[in-house]
Amino acid sequence: MSIPQKSSRVFHSLSYSHVVNNLQNWISEANIDKKITFHCARHTNATWQITTGTDLYTVKSNLGHKHIKTTELYSKVIDDKKKKAIEKLEL
């Protein structure tokens, strides 16, 4: 069994340009009435993964980050959301 190379694709028929070209179509089909960029969708996906319990190293790998510090920026967003939720509970 060979180890996959870094450039190996998970979705073989899905290219970057395919995603970028079809992002707005997918958003429209989901009845989302706002412009969402590829970067915004990528950020949302990473934040959602961390929120639902995916570990940082897996998110790092999924995003193709070289350094974990880059991925840790997404966890700061989650921490800020948690703090705001707790602040709402304080009387």
Contacts of 86 (CB under 8 A, 6+ apart): none
Q: Confidence band (pLDDT; 50, 70, 90) for 2?
A: low
Residue of 16 and 76 predicted with greater confidence: 76
Identify the band that residue 6 occupies on the pLDDT scale cut at 50, 70 and 90: low
pLDDT mean over 32-44: 84
Q: Tell me which residue has tokens 């960029």.
A: 37
On whether the pTM is more than 0.75, the answer is no
Angle of CA points 11, 49, 13, to nearest 5°? 10
Q: Which pLDDT belongs to residue 86? A: 83
Mean pLDDT for the stretch of residues 25-41: 84
Residue 83 has pLDDT above 70, yes or no: yes
Residue 86 CA to chain centroid, in angstroms?
A: 24
